[in-house]
């Protein structure tokens, strides 16, 4: 009745239950600390001097299909932000990314693209003061082109903890720009 297999199974179940409870406590404490620090209301972000540059590309790497030209866009921007509130004892790293959202072709729809991103691994690097930063990615629209539409730019973040789920949010700093009209060749 009390053989070795039963004892090992009992010890394994006790260990797994204890580890699950401890993980739950860590997750709850992490979320409580983030709510206490009001990380979803970070208002120290300024996105300014956004300049958009569009061009026509024929390469498959830039969204061209069947060698038909595709409008391609890059931006330069200034970014000033302090994300130190996002770091606590359970933060492994933070993934930040600059997105632009603009109206889609159909009524009420919108498109969202990512122009730039960065991984921050420690609190000392969480204060960013970027001037004339070029976008990391060259983007194209799912439609034929951007056609001079207005875009809203936001800095979004993703906390990757040592233990627990990924936590997403965005700063309250918002910038905007207009995609230039580019005539296809």
Assess contact for 115 and 100: CB atoms under 8 A.
Answer: yes
Name the token pair of 93.
């790293």
Number of Cβ within a 10 Å radius of residue 83:
22
**According to the model, what pLDDT value does residue 1 have?**
58
pTM score: 0.84
pLDDT in tens, 90-142: 999 999 999 999 998 778 888 999 999 999 999 999 999 999 999 999 898 88
Mapped onto helix, strand or coil, the DSSP state of residue 6 is helix
**According to the model, what pLDDT value does residue 58 have?**
72
Mapped onto helix, strand or coil, the DSSP state of residue 112 is strand
CA end-to-end distance (rounded Å), the chain:
83
Low-confidence ranges of the chain (pLDDT < 70): 1, 60-64, 183-185
């Amino acid at each position: 009745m009390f053989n070795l297999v039963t004892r090992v199974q009992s010890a394994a179940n006790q260990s797994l239950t204890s580890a699950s409870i401890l993980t739950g406590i860590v997750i709850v404490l992490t979320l409580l600390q983030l709510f206490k620090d009001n990380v979803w209301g970070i208002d120290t972000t300024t996105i300014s001097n956004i300049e958009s540059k569009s061009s026509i590309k024929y390469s498959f790497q830039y969204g061209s299909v069947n060698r038909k030209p595709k409008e391609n866009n890059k931006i330069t921007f200034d970014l000033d932000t302090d994300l130190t509130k996002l770091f606590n004892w359970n933060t492994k790293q933070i993934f930040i990314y600059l997105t632009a959202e603009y109206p889609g072709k159909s009524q009420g729809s919108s498109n969202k693209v990512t122009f730039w991103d960065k991984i921050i691994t420690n609190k000392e690097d969480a204060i960013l003061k970027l001037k004339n930063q070029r976008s990391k990615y060259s983007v194209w629209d799912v439609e034929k082109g951007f056609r001079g539409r207005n875009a809203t730019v936001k800095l979004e973040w993703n906390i990757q903890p040592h233990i627990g789920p990924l936590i997403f949010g965005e700063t309250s700093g918002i910038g905007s720009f207009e995609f230039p009209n580019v005539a296809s060749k």
